[in-house]
C-alpha cells in the first residue's frame, strides 16, 4: 500500500527540477527582487538626505548628512496635500467599484452563448481597442455632451471601462463558469441578476481581485484626467498625484531660474530630496494595498488559460 501511495504522490519526471537548476532559478528571482526593491530603498534614502550632502557628494546609499527637510517641506503643504489625498482616496475606491461593476456585467453578458447581442457587443467592444477617436473627440464628448467638466466624475468615468479588462473577465467566465451551473440555477427559478450576484461573482473572486488591483493602480496614479478636465478654479478636486506633480514642477521652475531668488525664498526649498519624498508619498499607500491582492493576482490572470 505504501509503495502504491508513493507512486501516486511521486512528481512526474518532466516536472522535476535538478538542484543546480533550482539554485540558478532561485538566484535569478533574488536578483529580480533586488532590482525591484533597491530603487525604492534608494529613493527613500535620498529623501532623507540633506541638500548639502547631495550637492557635495551626489546620490549615495549612505549620505554624509541626514535631514528631514523634504518631509518638513511637504508637511507645510499638508492642507493642500491632505485634501488631495482624500480626493485620490475617493476616486480610487469609487472608481474601482464602478469599474468592477461595469466591466464584470458586460463581460458576463457577452460570455453567455444564449445572449442575442453577443456578437454585436463583442465587435463594439473590440473596435476602440483597434481604432480610437483620439483625445479631442473624447474631451468634447466628456465635457460638452456629458457635462463632466470640473466634476469629480470626470476623474472616474473616463477610466472605468477597458477592453482589456473585459477580455480577461470574458475569458474567465467562459472557461470557469460552467453552463450546467447556470442552467441548474435557472431551473430553480433564479433570475439572471440573482445568478450573477450570488453564483457567478463569488466563484470569480481571483479575477475580480486582479481587475480590482489594476483599477486601483490606475486611479491612484492618474493625474492626466485632472489636467484635462479640472481648471484652477476647482483646486479642491485636484487628486494627490496632480498636486504633487505641480509642486515638483514649481520647485524645478524656481531652481532653474536663479533670477527669481529676489522674489522667492529658495533657501528653504529642498529641490532634490523633495522629488524623492514625493515619490515615496505616492508609492507607499498603493504598495501597502498590493499584499491584499497578491494571493489572487497570478491565479486571476492564468485561470482558464489552459482550458478549452
Pick the more confident residue, 133 or 4: 133
Q: Is the pLDDT of residue 186 over 80?
A: yes
Residue 294 pLDDT level (bands cut at 50, 70, 90): low
Distance between CA 64 and CA 69 in Å, rounded?
Answer: 15
Bigger pLDDT: 215 vs 11: 215
Distance of CA 1 to the CA centre of its chain: 52
**pLDDT at residue 261 greater than cutoff 80:** no
Q: How does residue 15 score in pLDDT terms, banded at 50, 70 and 90?
A: low
Band (pLDDT 50/70/90 cuts) for residue 304 is very low
Domains within the chain, CATH numbers bracketed: 70-302 (1.10.3720.10)
For position 308, what pLDDT does the model report?
A: 41
Residue 154 pLDDT class (50, 70, 90 cuts)? very high
pLDDT tens readout for residues 217-235: 899 989 899 999 998 888 8
Per-residue pLDDT band for 103 (boundaries 50, 70, 90) equals very high
User: Can you give the pTM of this predicted structure?
Assistant: 0.79
Q: For 83-104, what is the mean pLDDT?
A: 93
Q: Is the pLDDT of residue 16 over 50?
A: yes
Amino acid at each position: 500500500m505504501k509503495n502504491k501511495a508513493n507512486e501516486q504522490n511521486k512528481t512526474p519526471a518532466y516536472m522535476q527540477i535538478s538542484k543546480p537548476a533550482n539554485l540558478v532559478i532561485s538566484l535569478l528571482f533574488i536578483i529580480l527582487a533586488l532590482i525591484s526593491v533597491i530603487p525604492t530603498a534608494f529613493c527613500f534614502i535620498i529623501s532623507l538626505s540633506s541638500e548639502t550632502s547631495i550637492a557635495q557628494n551626489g546620490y549615495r546609499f549612505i549620505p554624509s548628512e541626514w535631514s528631514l527637510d523634504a518631509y518638513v517641506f511637504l508637511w507645510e503643504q499638508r492642507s493642500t496635500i491632505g485634501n488631495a489625498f482624500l480626493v485620490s482616496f475617493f476616486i480610487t475606491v469609487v472608481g474601482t467599484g464602478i469599474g468592477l461593476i461595469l466591466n464584470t456585467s458586460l463581460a458576463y453578458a457577452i460570455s453567455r452563448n444564449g445572449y442575442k447581442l453577443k456578437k454585436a457587443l463583442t465587435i463594439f467592444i473590440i473596435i476602440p481597442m483597434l481604432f480610437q477617436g483620439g483625445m479631442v473627440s473624447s474631451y468634447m464628448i466628456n465635457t460638452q455632451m456629458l457635462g463632466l467638466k470640473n466634476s469629480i466624475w470626470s476623474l472616474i468615468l473616463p477610466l472605468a471601462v477597458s477592453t482589456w479588462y473585459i477580455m480577461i473577465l470574458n475569458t474567465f467566465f467562459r472557461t470557469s463558469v460552467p453552463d450546467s451551473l447556470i442552467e441548474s440555477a435557472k431551473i430553480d427559478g433564479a433570475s439572471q441578476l440573482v445568478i450573477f450576484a450570488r453564483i457567478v461573482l463569488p466563484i470569480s473572486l481571483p479575477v475580480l481581485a486582479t481587475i480590482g488591483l489594476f483599477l486601483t493602480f490606475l486611479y491612484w496614479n492618474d493625474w492626466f484626467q485632472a489636467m484635462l478636465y479640472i481648471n484652477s478654479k476647482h483646486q479642491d478636486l485636484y487628486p494627490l498625484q496632480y498636486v504633487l506633480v505641480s509642486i515638483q514642477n514649481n520647485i524645478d521652475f524656481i531652481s532653474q531660474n536663479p533670477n527669481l531668488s529676489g522674489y522667492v525664498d529658495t533657501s528653504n526649498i529642498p529641490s532634490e530630496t523633495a522629488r524623492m519624498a514625493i515619490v515615496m508619498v505616492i508609492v507607499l499607500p498603493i504598495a501597502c494595498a498590493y499584499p491584499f491582492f497578491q494571493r489572487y493576482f497570478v491565479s486571476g490572470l492564468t485561470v482558464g488559460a489552459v482550458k478549452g
